[in-house]
């Protein structure tokens, strides 16, 4: 019985710490692998973020271009509106003069 007790105490004293050490090494390797996976995933996520930033900058540039063109078209439309109003006034004056001439012609 004492031999069995000595054997059990030897196993407890020598093999149990080795078992715990192996378990800790295994857990550390799992943590290291997870850390590598997280790093890879973060790298790809950052790449996607950079791509999206580039897309947003391109869209922002296009929106700015469209806004500039819209402003230009607005100015051109306002100029055309002014020209149309001016032409309407001139036509009104011409019609009034023609009416006056018609009245004068009718008197003679």
Q: How many domains is the chain partitioned into structurally?
A: 1
Find how far residue 49's CA is from the centre of its chain: 9
Give the tens place of pLDDT for each residue, 85-97.
999 999 999 999 9
Q: Considering the entire predicted model, what is its pTM?
A: 0.52
Residue range(s) defining the domain that contains residue 64: 1-107
Give the tens place of pLDDT for each residue, 60-84.
999 999 999 998 899 999 999 999 9
């Amino acid at each position: 019985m004492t031999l069995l007790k000595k054997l059990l105490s030897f196993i407890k004293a020598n093999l149990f710490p080795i078992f715990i050490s192996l378990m800790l090494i295994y857990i550390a390797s799992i943590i290291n692998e997870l850390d590598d996976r997280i790093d890879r995933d973060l790298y790809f996520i950052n790449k996607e973020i950079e791509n999206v930033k580039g897309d947003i900058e391109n869209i922002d540039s296009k929106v700015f271009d469209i806004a500039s063109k819209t402003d230009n078209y607005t100015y051109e439309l306002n100029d055309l509106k002014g020209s149309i109003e001016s032409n309407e006034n001139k036509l009104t004056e011409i019609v009034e003069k023609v009416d006056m001439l018609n009245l004068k012609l009718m008197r003679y």
